[in-house]
Every structure is written in C-alpha cells, then in structure tokens.
Structure 1
Amino acid sequence: MEKVKAKKHLGQHFLTDLSIAEQIAQAVKGHNEVSKVLEIGPGMGVLTDFLLKGNLDLHLIDIDKESIAYLHKKYPELGDKIIEGDFLKMHLQEAFPDKFAIVGNFPYNISSQIFFKVLDVKDQVTEVVCMLQKEVAERIASPKGNKDYGILSVLLQAYYDIEYLFTVPPHVFDPPPRVNSGVIRLTRNTTEKLDCNEKLFKQVVKAGFGNRRKTLRNCMKPFNLPEEFNSNPILDLRAEQLDVAEFIFLTQTIEASRGNN
C-alpha cells in the first residue's frame, strides 16, 4: 500500500520507531482495567499494530481521509471501528457509554484541547497513554512549585494519577518535529467528585494562573472573598504553589462566602 503523506495543517508526525510504538502499547495493556481502547490519530497504524496484539476492543479515529482509507485496507477486520471524524467533536458518551481508555500520538496543536475533552467525560476514561510535545507532557505531570505547573496540571491531577514515562527524540518521526516528545500515562484515581463546586473550581484555577506573577490575593479579587479571609496566608502564595487540595479549600471558601451573601 502507498504510504500516507503527513499533512502539516493536521499536525501529523508519523512515528517510525517500532520499539517506541511497542513501549507505548505495553503501557496501555499493563494498566488498563477495561478492554475498550480508542486510538486517536493512528495515521498508518504503527502503534495500532502493537495494540492489536493485546486482547483489546480497539477503535480508531482519524480526521484524515487518506489515513482512513489506508487503515480500512490494512485492517479490514476492524470495519466500522475505524471512525473518520474529529475527536474534539465526537459525542463520546453516545459512542462509548461504558468505560474506555485513550491512546495515541496526539497532534501538538490540539493536545491541550484533547485533555479538556477527556475531563468532560472523566468518569468514562479510565486511562490515557499518549505522546505529545515534551513541554506539554512535563507540564501535565509537574508537581506544585514547578514553573511548568499550570491549569492543566491542576485540573488533570484532581482526577488522574499522572506519570511521565519517557522522552522521544525528533528523528524517529516522519517528518521530524522541531522539539522532543514525551510519553505520559494518566490513570483515573478514586475521586468521583471534588469536595466543592467543580465548575467554580475550574474558574478559580484558571483565575489563579491568569497572571502567574501575581499572588492569589490579587488573582482572587473578582470572587469577592470575605474580609475576614484576607489575612489567610494562602493568599500570599502564587497559584503554582498550591496543590489540588489547596485549590479545593480556596473554592470552598468562595462558595461559603457566596452562600452567606
């Protein structure tokens, strides 16, 4: 079969190193409690080949018509499990009403959007094993107090245990990207619901990181914190110094103040 040509506007960089593809596939099988797996952006199926060796109910989604045609020829047995479409527009609760895992070599330009969509269906997605830009991978896995720690770090760490697995150099891709890639694994933790208003929690986290150099005292002004809370030392910190539990505490305080008004 004729190879699929990588398309710049889709952010395609096809992995060519089989040993790395095998490592990624094994990372899914080792920690996945369910058999259903959705691979995002399979391209020409380098990772797919290894996923199919496991006892998995594998589904593929790709926005690229050329890749879809290639995959249908390569894996005729998958039939309608090969989906032509945009993952970001996919109705996951309808397509996968049960629990499932996600795996893939994520396009750099939409990786953050993919994770925000995962958060929308976090009770279904038990695990994510993915390769993305190293800088973004490090940010997601970063602990508090690190300059890489940010909005996605907090929101994802609230619901997932996150491990940075390994770094992948540019030369194992066609075409090679200009930066290193990183492989991470997210495993759903036991938190079913945060002990606060989850919508407000997101707003507080985003506001906290809105200006990283400012203290929370300044960043939280729009929330009209109660005057008696102004002396709390947490407000003298910056957002990057707070872990998930401390952001929950801050959200609870704002919630309580609104209830008293």
Structure 2
Amino acid sequence: MKNKRQSPGEAHSGVRAKKHLGQHFLTDENIASKIADTLVGDNYNKVLEIGPGMGVLTKYLLEKDKEVHVIEIDTESVEYLESNYLHLRDRIHEKDFLKHDLSQIFGDEAYAVIGNFPYNISTQIVFKVLELRHQIPEFSGMFQKEVAKRICEKEGNKTYGILSVLVQAYYEAEYLFTVPPSVFNPPPKVDSGVLRLTRKENFTLPCDEKLFFRIVKMAFNQRRKTLRNSLKSLNLPDNLREDAIFGSRPEQLGFQQFIELTQKIEPYAISTK
C-alpha cells in the first residue's frame, strides 16, 4: 500500500530545519520523483536513503521494487517518519551514516545509496561510499552544484581534483540535472546538482590502492606544482623523477594515468617502507 502523498506545504509543517545539521528540506514533488528515478540498477535489491527528513524523496523510493532503508541523525525527523510511514518503521535507523557500521543493517549484501545530502558533509559521504564500494554498485543524490560538477569533472579543468580522480577510478560519474534554491525550505544560497555514480565492472585497481590514494592527495594538495615537486617527500630516485609524467601537473592526468604513476612509484615505495 502506497503512502498518501502530501502537498509540499503539509510535508514540511512537521519538522523544523536545523542549521547545524545542514538541513534544507526539498519541497518539489516532481524533483523528488526525478531523483528517485536516478536509481536504475538491477544488481541490488536494497536501497539506503541518507537524511530522509520528512520523506519527500522516501515515498517515491517506496514505489520502486526495492527494500528501502533510511538513516537519519535528527530525532525529530525520525519521530515524524515513524508516525507517517508506519510500514517503514523497522527500516528507520536513527544513526550517523558517517559513523555507523552499515554491515549491521545489510550484512554483506549489495545496496544502493541515495539522498538529498547536507552540503556540510557531502564529500565525507562520498569518501565513505568509496570505502564501501564493494557493496555499493550505484549511488545518486543531490549536492551543492559545485561539488557535484567537481566529482564528475574530467582532467584538464580547474575544478578537477582529488574527489574527481578517486571517484572516477571506481565509478562512472554522470552529472544529471541542476536544481534551483527555490524548491527547498529554507532555500540554500546556491544551486544544487544531482549526479549518479555507477560502479565499474572491474573496480579493483591494478596497483596498491592505499598508495594510489596517497599519491592523488599529495599531488592535489600542491596542485600548482609539477608532480616532480609535489611528490618530492617520497624520496624517489632521480632516474624515476626524470620520467616525463613527473613534469605534469595533477589536473593534467586522468585517473588511468594516476594508476600508471602509482605503478611506477610502487616498487620504490614498497622498498622504502
């Protein structure tokens, strides 16, 4: 049985948006439906929505042929959901997504992740999804537009950075559509953007993954320098540092070239551990 659809005004009369949680409640039913439709995979049966608030997106997810779970840190929102989504009660988890052990919910099963993400923790959410990538074949949701664009950006652009490389090493990243501030309560000061990440079939890197992460972060932490200078603290031999790739700046390299860079450095990094 489907939940009765509330009008945007009704849906947002129950819970006060809390600034410290970065809450901006979505009030546009059409956009909520469009976001729910961004999940298109058939290689999982369960979905986790982060920060459902009062369920404007949740009700559209519940129409899908998936087992929907929601994780929410705001007690007031949890109480609202428990009162208005009775058949979801056993799948409402009053936990912090960033800190909770999600195996307590899903075991080792695959699940998708979706949400209207608080701007202040959105990049942390992506980093946790990367940690859990073996169980998350699909991820979609709403970010600050600038962050969504950065995640999907390709090399050669100023906004391309750490998150772009790390995400694109494991997922196909698509920027889907832009959402104006006017469809939120309270409205944020900037546009939002919705993206979708689809995990690649071969998502295990052919190099040391910890070293790959370390090299990408080191390179972009001094993004104006060439790799020869930004990676100087690795104490690599001069003959390796003469390789042409070390004359590049990080934004010039795609994720595949960062993998190749890691493969070149790996024998020396391991020998000096």
**TM > 0.5 fold call:** yes
- 1:146 and 2:157 equivalent? yes
The whole-number CA distance in structure 2 between the counterparts of 1:94 and 1:186 is 24
Distance change (3 Å), C-alpha of 1:132 and 1:32? farther
Match of 1:101 in 2: 112
Return the offset for 1:177: 0.1
5+ long unaligned stretches in structure 2: 1-9
Distance change (3 Å), C-alpha of 1:260 and 1:53? closer
Q: What secondary structure, in the 3-state scheme, does the structure 2 residue paired with 1:167 have?
A: strand
What pairs with 1:92-241 in structure 2 (closer than 5 Å)?
Answer: 92-96=102-106, 97-241=108-252
Choose 251-260 or 229-238, whichever is displaced more: 251-260
5+ long unaligned stretches in structure 1: none
TM normalised by structure 1 equals 0.96
Match of 1:62 in 2: 72
The whole-number CA distance in structure 2 between the counterparts of 1:46 and 1:35 is 21
Out of 91, 96, 109, the residue aligned to residue 86 of structure 1 is 96
Deviations 1:219-258 (A, max 9, x none): 1111122221222111111101111111111111111124
Contact kept, 8 Å, 2:157 with 2:251, in 1: the verdict is yes
Return the offset for 1:74: 0.9
Match of 2:24 in 1: 13
The whole-number CA distance in structure 2 between the counterparts of 1:32 and 1:151 is 29
Deviations 1:172-202 (A, max 9, x none): 0000000000000000101231111100100
Deviations 1:7-38 (A, max 9, x none): 0000000000111011011111x234212000
TM normalised by structure 2 equals 0.92
**Which amino acid letter does the alignment assign opposite residue 103 of structure 2?**
Q
Contact kept, 8 Å, 1:92 with 1:121, in 2: the verdict is no
How many residue pairs match? The answer is 260
**Which amino acid letter does the alignment assign opposite residue 67 of structure 1?**
S
Contact kept, 8 Å, 2:169 with 2:203, in 1: the verdict is no
Identity of aligned residues (%): 55
The whole-number CA distance in structure 1 between the counterparts of 2:137 and 2:156 is 27
Contact kept, 8 Å, 1:141 with 1:162, in 2: the verdict is yes
The whole-number CA distance in structure 1 between the counterparts of 2:91 and 2:182 is 31
Contact kept, 8 Å, 1:139 with 1:149, in 2: the verdict is yes
The whole-number CA distance in structure 2 between the counterparts of 1:156 and 1:89 is 20
Q: What secondary structure, in the 3-state scheme, does the structure 2 residue paired with 1:250 have?
A: helix
The whole-number CA distance in structure 1 between the counterparts of 2:42 and 2:177 is 19
Deviations 1:83-133 (A, max 9, x none): 111000110233222000000000000001001111111100111111010
Contact kept, 8 Å, 1:32 with 1:126, in 2: the verdict is no
